[in-house]
Amino acid sequence: MCRWLSYMGVPIYLEDLIYKPDHSLIQQSLNAIEAKVPTNGDGFGIGWYTERDEPGLYREVLPAWNDLNLRSLSHQIRSGLFFAHVRASTGTETVRSNCHPFAYRNWLFMHNGQIGDYGRVRRTLETMIPDGFYDFRAGSTDSEVLFLLMMANGAEDDACGALRQTLTQVEEAMQSAAITLPLRCTAALSDGNRLIALRYASDDKPPSLYYCWEGDRTMVVSEPIDSNTAAWRAVPPNHLLEVTGGQEPSVWAL
């Protein structure tokens, strides 16, 4: 499973979260604590918003801890809304097109988790993606399928509704294929103006997800990036979290 973080608030340098904390995302790429595997070395990516509507994107197949370009970019880029992701593959190739975040126009998406027995429903799910969105499919992951389904289901008008509809579609396809393995995921989605995060599982073992609100900024992470345990709150299982402006995040059940 992967590790990721997202940030929305006053602009900061990306390195302030990706490198500097004592359990930063770079440290988690080497030694994650709450993941199924401790090492997340199957590529990485960052996505960020600044003056333009469409986000910047940098993805690579090297382990995050071994990429000097990531260190340099993180030192120079300052943003008020960004994503960062380190990948542990669940079976698909380690190629750039499979690294997160994924982008569609002004949208960013990243994911941790897995559709159980994905190979048995991959074709079914892909046929649900209209041609206009499927043309943007570049990789082979279930994560990208989830993203394009969300966009096809109307994320631009109702992102939370699109998330719910997509989960329902995936679970119905799994049930039709008599799949008994669970659907488990955390995800982050943004249009550049707000941040939406999801923690979900079809069983009782959702991947970990936490958030920290500090008034002028909110961080959402797979696991806490520092030892200030009192500051971090777990997102409840099967809940959505939404961040807009400088307001306290809203959390509600799916």
Distance CA 184, CA 224 (A): 20
Q: Which residue has the tokens 């993941």?
A: 35
Label residue 113 left, alpha or beta by phi (over 0 means left) and psi (-120 to 50 means alpha): left
Distance CA 143, CA 170 (A): 12
Number of residues that this document lists for the chain: 254
Residue in 27, 15, 106, 29 with CA at minimum distance from that of residue 60 = 29
2 among known catalytic residues: yes
Instruction: Kindly state the tokens that stand for 55.
Output: 């986000």
Number of Cβ within a 10 Å radius of residue 69: 10
Distance CA 198, CA 9 (A): 19
Distance CA 144, CA 102 (A): 7
Instruction: Kindly state the tokens that stand for 220.
Output: 């959402």
Q: Which residues are catalytic?
A: 2
